[in-house]
Amino acid sequence: MAQKLKFSRWIVRHGFLVRAVLLTTVSLSLLLLVVVPAYRASRELSRKIAVRTKEANEISDKVSILSGLDQTVLKERVEILDRALPPSKDVVLYLSAIGGLSSELGLSFNGISLAPGEVTTATSSAKSSKATRERGLLSLLETELKITGSKENIYGFLRAIEESLPLMQIKDANISVGAGESYTLGLRLAMLWAAPDPEAVKGTITLFDDKEEAYFQDLAEFRRFAAVSESEFASIGLGKNDLFAVPVSD
């Protein structure tokens, strides 16, 4: 009995301390179980809202830029780009360029290979080449051709390729001496093309800055050639009829 009375007196004497300990324990429990998770969730929600807001602003900026463009200027830029870097494997565009150049320079074709298989009609020396090879974001329409003419005209043909549309890449060139003033050029030539991929566009769109304007001006000054007609195919020396076994566009 005496011990209980003594314990009761101790509790009364130290009641404030006991209540303080209990209150601190409850507060810490609430902080760990409720407040901290709620704070973390609030910060995560704020972060997501900031990300979505940034994305919305970027989309708004892109729409604003596109809506503010002169449609005539935009159409002109698209046409120049499509001539320089076709959106598909355009065999006719390729033939137009090399046919136009060779016609102006007085060169004659001995053979050209655009599709798998041997070219039998034009010449037996023209080798086949893979129609398309991927390199990064660009694709290549690779060809092998042989042309005959004077040395000056053949060199002029090689120089003109670098200043004509569509953009091409010279893979290999061999020149051999023929009879008299005649020379024969064996050439591996690749036309560059790239299929459009809108999903690959990331970040902020900026159009027609000083560098891009200079780029478009350079392309606008390149040579352009009309599409070849069926009557001109024979003079180009295309070879056998399965030349277009590879689809013109992918």
Give the pLDDT confidence score for residue 38 in this predicted structure.
72
Give the pLDDT confidence score for residue 4 in this predicted structure.
62
What is the rounded average pLDDT of the residues 58-85?
Answer: 72
Give domain status of residue 129, yes or no. Answer: yes
Note whether 38 and 84 are same-domain residues.
no
Q: How far apart are CA 188 and CA 141, in angstroms?
A: 11
Residue range 100-150, pLDDT digits in tens:
888 888 887 776 665 433 333 334 344 444 444 444 567 888 888 888 888
Q: How many CA atoms, within 13 angstroms, populate the side-chain half-sphere of residue 75?
A: 3
Give domain status of residue 59, yes or no. Answer: no
Note whether 118 and 185 are same-domain residues.
yes
Choice between 123 and 87, residue whose per-residue pLDDT is larger = 87
DSSP type of residue 238 = -
CATH number at residue 195: 3.30.70.60
Residue 106 near residue 227 (C-beta atoms within 8 A): no
Note whether 240 and 132 are same-domain residues.
yes
Note whether 26 and 102 are same-domain residues.
no
Q: Using only the alpha carbons of the chain, give its radius of gyration.
A: 37
Note whether 220 and 136 are same-domain residues.
yes
Residue range 179-229, pLDDT digits in tens:
777 888 888 888 888 887 766 666 555 666 778 778 778 888 887 777 655
Give the pLDDT confidence score for residue 72 in this predicted structure.
76
What is the rounded average pLDDT of the residues 217-246?
Answer: 57
Which residues, 6 or more positions from 100, have their beta carbon under 8 angstroms from its beta carbon?
Answer: 164, 223, 225, 226, 228
Give the pLDDT confidence score for residue 133 in this predicted structure.
47
Q: With both helix axes pointing from N to C terminus, report the angle between 15-30 and 2-13 in degrees, rounded to the nearest 10.
A: 60
Note whether 91 and 187 are same-domain residues.
yes
pTM, two decimal places: 0.52
Angstrom CA distances, 199 to 53, 68, 195, 196, 202, stand at: 20, 22, 12, 9, 8
What is the rounded average pLDDT of the residues 149-156?
Answer: 85
Residue range 4-38, pLDDT digits in tens:
666 666 666 666 666 666 777 767 776 667 666 77
Choice between 230 and 173, residue whose per-residue pLDDT is larger = 173
Choice between 248 and 200, residue whose per-residue pLDDT is larger = 200
What is the rounded average pLDDT of the residues 157-171?
Answer: 84
Give domain status of residue 148, yes or no. Answer: yes
Give domain status of residue 55, yes or no. Answer: no
Note whether 38 and 98 are same-domain residues.
no
Residue 98 near residue 170 (C-beta atoms within 8 A): no
Residue 90 near residue 193 (C-beta atoms within 8 A): yes
Give domain status of residue 23, yes or no. Answer: yes
Note whether 86 and 167 are same-domain residues.
yes
Note whether 173 and 236 are same-domain residues.
yes
Q: What distance lies between CA 198 and its chain's CA centroid?
A: 9
Note whether 164 and 230 are same-domain residues.
yes
Note whether 12 and 133 are same-domain residues.
no
Give domain status of residue 140, yes or no. Answer: yes
Residue 130 near residue 142 (C-beta atoms within 8 A): yes
Give the pLDDT confidence score for residue 166 in this predicted structure.
84
Q: Compute the CA torsion angle 191, 97, 223, 107 (nearest 10 deg).
A: 120
Q: What distance lies between CA 91 and its chain's CA centroid?
A: 20
- Which helix (H) or strand (E) segment holds residue 62: the answer is helix 36-67
Give domain status of residue 64, yes or no. Answer: no
Residue 92 near residue 247 (C-beta atoms within 8 A): no
Note whether 84 and 197 are same-domain residues.
yes
Residue ranges making up the domain that contains 163: 77-245
- pLDDT tier at 173 (50, 70, 90 boundaries)? confident
Q: What distance lies between CA 1 and its chain's CA centroid?
A: 93
Give domain status of residue 237, yes or no. Answer: yes
What is the rounded average pLDDT of the residues 61-66?
Answer: 61
How many structural domains compose the chain? Answer: 2
Give the pLDDT confidence score for residue 62 in this predicted structure.
64
